[in-house]
Amino acid sequence: MPAETHVGRTPLGPDEVLTLVRERLAAILEIEEDRVTLDARFADDLDADSLALIELVEELEEELGERTVGFRVDDEDLADLHTVREAVDYIVVRLAAADGATS
């Protein structure tokens, strides 16, 4: 029987997504995790350039793709995400949509 890594996992909520984003982004930017708050703006507050955000997306897609089949961040949408809160909200919606598509 094939191992289905996405089966039996509960969907991630906003708090879990924030924790994941906070950990990954802090590591990429080499900053303290407590700087990555919901209201932090990627460019202005965290000095995150587009390459850092692409790296974040790649790590999130890898991590969340193991939990939810079909999870992807559209390149066009990335330009519209300016704060950590916007990113967390976007990811929660995408996870719910991907989870609904596989149910």
Distance (Å, rounded) from C-alpha 50 to C-alpha 56? 10
Per the annotation, the verdict on 75 as an active-site residue is no
Tokens read off for 40: 């932090």
Provide the β-strand partners of residue 6.
none
Distance (Å, rounded) from C-alpha 40 to C-alpha 83? 6
Q: Which of 49, 75, 80, 89 is catalytic?
A: 49
Q: Which residues are identified as catalytic? A: 49
